[in-house]
Amino acid sequence: MAKQISAKRQKAIKRNLTAYIFILPCLAGFMVYYLIPIFAGIGFSMTDYTGLSIKNIHFVGFDNYKNLFQNAYFKKAFMNNLIYTLLYTPITLIVALFFATVLNHVKRGVKFFRVCFFLPYVTSMVSVAIVWRLIFNPTNGPINILLGNLGISNPPKWLMSTKWALYAVIIVAVWKTFGYYMLILLAGMQTIPEHLYEAAAIDGARAAQKFWYVTLPLLSPTIFLCIVTLVINSFQVFDLVNVMTEGGPGTATNVLVYRIYEEGFKNANMGFACAIAYFLFGVTLVITLVQFIGQKRWVHYD
């Protein structure tokens, strides 16, 4: 009897051991690169750690968080990030929807068009930023030549202007990423059964009505996922800003991750930078939760 139990236990131990051998590499990576930093970050966000010497570190409680909104740079960056999110999300979604709708009607050469539209997405942010910095050149850059040809005599100075720089960054971000959402939306459109469109046609629906009353409601779960992803990504914009404008001119394109980077690595303000970092996490978490609660009002699941 006892022997049987111990044999069973041995087998269980062996089973657990095998499983943990399979998980071990991931678990080790998780501990070192994620788990410890997650808790260390919370800890450091409550100190005045500069990043230079661990000896002069003091516990400051929630002061860093309280000081966030006293800090002019942070406030400006947060405002910029909100503008960025509020414009980037809907514009990218609409552009992606439009391209997907058009692509859905293409009969020949679908692959060619798909590759053309997706190419910006596979290009690195750094390359994209370098090219567009020249395209936005205020004197005789291609964009302003085009605007000139359209009869606009005083085109914006784009990256040189505090008023336009953020919009220029948004334009590039939309161009760079819409292809990804287009692919997802296109796949969603292709799952809509043809007979629903035929029924709508019998009822006398025009193309626009079909889109509004058939495509959009049936696509709403996919659209919802796209919006969630877009918003999360919009709060993590960094590469584009770092290469195109370095947060400038002035503070015109400063965003949250750019603040984390500058406070942490340039201003030796690690504690404060960690507070911004957790603020970023909190904001995305809250917005995502709100979206999941709000979806019941407009997302149609079968």
Partner 1 sequence: MKDDPKKIIGRILFGLLLLLLVLCSIFPFLWMISTSFKYDTQVFTNPIQWIPDPVKLDNYRKAWSEIPFALFLKNTALVAVAGTFLQVVCCSAAAYAFAKMEFMGKNILFMIFMATMMIPWHTIMIPQHMLMGRLGMHDKLATLILMQAFGAFGIFLLRQFFMGVPNELREAAQIDGAGEIRIFFSIMLQQARPGLAALTIFTFITQWNDYITPLIYLNSPKNYTLQLGLKMFATQYTMQYGLTMAGTLCSMVPLFVVYLIFEKQITKGIVFTGMKG
Site for partner 1 in 92-121 (CB under 8 A): 99, 102, 105-106, 111, 113-120
CB 44 within 8 A of CB 264: no
- Considering only residues 131 through 190, tell me which ones interact with partner 1, judged by CB under 8 A: 131-135, 137, 139-142, 145, 148, 175, 179-180, 183-184, 187-188
- Considering only residues 64 through 83, tell me which ones interact with partner 1, judged by CB under 8 A: none
Binder of partner 1 out of 6, 127, 162, 209 (CB under 8 A): 127
Kindly tell me which of 124 and 209 has the beta carbon lying closer to partner 1: 124
217 binds partner 1 (CB under 8 A): no
Structure tokens at 162: 């505090």
Binder of partner 1 out of 29, 193, 250, 294 (CB under 8 A): 29
88 binds partner 1 (CB under 8 A): no
Please report how close the Cβ of residue 80 comes to partner 1 at its closest, in angstroms: 16
Binder of partner 1 out of 88, 158, 164, 261 (CB under 8 A): 261
Helix axes 270-294, 216-234, angle to 10 degrees: 170
Kindly tell me which of 79 and 135 has the beta carbon lying closer to partner 1: 135
Please report how close the Cβ of residue 33 comes to partner 1 at its closest, in angstroms: 5
Binder of partner 1 out of 8, 9, 19, 58 (CB under 8 A): 19
Cross-strand pairs, 59: 47
Cross-strand pairs, 47: 59
20 binds partner 1 (CB under 8 A): yes
Residue type, 152: I
Please report how close the Cβ of residue 91 comes to partner 1 at its closest, in angstroms: 13
Q: Which of 79, 40, 53, 132 is nearest to 259 (CA)?
A: 79
Per CB under 8 A, the segment of 2-10, 78-86, 152-160, 282-290 that binds partner 1 is: 282-290
Per CB under 8 A, the segment of 85-93, 154-162, 163-171, 235-243 that binds partner 1 is: 235-243
The count of chain residues that interact with partner 1, using the rule CB under 8 A, is 90
Per CB under 8 A, the segment of 26-34, 63-71, 159-167, 195-203 that binds partner 1 is: 26-34
DSSP the chain: -HHHHHHHHHHHHHHHHHHHHHHHHHHHHHIIIIIHHHHHHHHHTTB---SS-GGG--B-TTHHHHHGGG-HHHHHHHHHHHHHHHHHHHHHHHHHHHHHHHHHH--S-HHHHHHHHHHHHHS-HHHHHHHHHHHT-TTT-HHHHHHHHTT-SS---GGG-TTTHHHHHHHHHHHHHHHHHHHHHHHHHHTS-HHHHHHHHHTT--HHHHIIIIIHHHHHHHHHHHHHHHHHHHTT--HHHHHHTTT-STTTT--HHHHHHIIIIIS--HHHHHHHHHHHHHHHHHHHHHHHHHGGGT----
- Considering only residues 195 through 214, tell me which ones interact with partner 1, judged by CB under 8 A: none
295 binds partner 1 (CB under 8 A): no
Distance from C-alpha of 249 to C-alpha of 258, rounded to nearest angstrom:
14
278 binds partner 1 (CB under 8 A): yes
Binder of partner 1 out of 6, 123, 162, 209 (CB under 8 A): 123
Per CB under 8 A, the segment of 39-47, 66-74, 155-163, 193-201 that binds partner 1 is: 39-47
